[in-house]
Amino acid sequence: MSGRLLIGAVVMVLAGARGYAQARPTCAVVPKSLAAMKGCYRPLLVFSPNGDDARLRRQVSMLDEAADDMMDRFVLYTPIVPDGRQVTTPADAPYSILDAKAMGAVRAQFHVAAGGFTVLLLDEDGSVMLRTAVPVSTDRLNTLIDKTPLRQTEMLRPHAN
């Protein structure tokens, strides 16, 4: 391992940074709002009645099983639960936890009742690519994302994932 690479790895570990892929250097590594995600990530908003819901845990499990695919496609798991706390987070897949006020605003913006389970995949421009009431397989997410013109362009870049 080169000296610079080793130093960079040590700095990331010491800083507690997660190893997320970034769409651009100007993007926040862990954005704290949908506005900060726009143009940088494809948020996977998972609305759940509570942080320990079996469907929420299943979604997290599927994301972890394909964490590399999610990073390659800039998918950012963003759970939305009524109390804003006690949420299930992935071990490997990229995620961002919004504060309770932001979660409430997102729930209102997308008209999702507090007691319901809904999964929304947003494109980098904020448009809704998928809305469903069940956990979504990563194969389905990959297929949807890979069909978009932006993803087609991303795949043409040198060293693209």
Packed helices 138-146 and 149-156: angle between N→C axes, nearest 10 degrees: 90
Average pLDDT for consecutive 10-residue bins of the chain (161 residues)?
A: 40 38 75 93 95 94 95 94 80 92 94 94 95 97 88 66 55
Q: Given this model, what pLDDT does residue 23 score?
A: 61
Q: What is the pLDDT of residue 153?
A: 72
Residue 140 lies in a domain: yes
| Number of domains present in the structure of the chain | 1
Residues 6 or more apart whose CB falls under 8 angstroms from that of 53 comprise: 117
Q: Are 112 and 118 in contact (CB under 8 A)?
A: yes
Looking up residue 99, the CATH number of its domain turns out to be: 3.40.30.10
Domain extent at residue 111: 3-156
Please tell me the predicted confidence (pLDDT) of residue 37: 95
pLDDT tens digits for range 124-136: 999 999 999 999 9
Which residues have C-beta within 8 Å of that of residue 34, sequence separation ≥ 6?
A: 43, 102, 106, 109, 122, 126
**Residue 87 within a domain:** yes
| 161 falls within a domain | no
Residue 96 resides in a domain:
yes
Taking the CA of residue 81 as centre, how many other CA atoms within 13 Å lie in the half-sphere pointing to its CB? 19
- For residues 31 and 96, the answer to whether their CB atoms sit within 8 Å is yes
Element (H, E) at 75: strand 75-80
Give the model's pLDDT for residue 148.
82
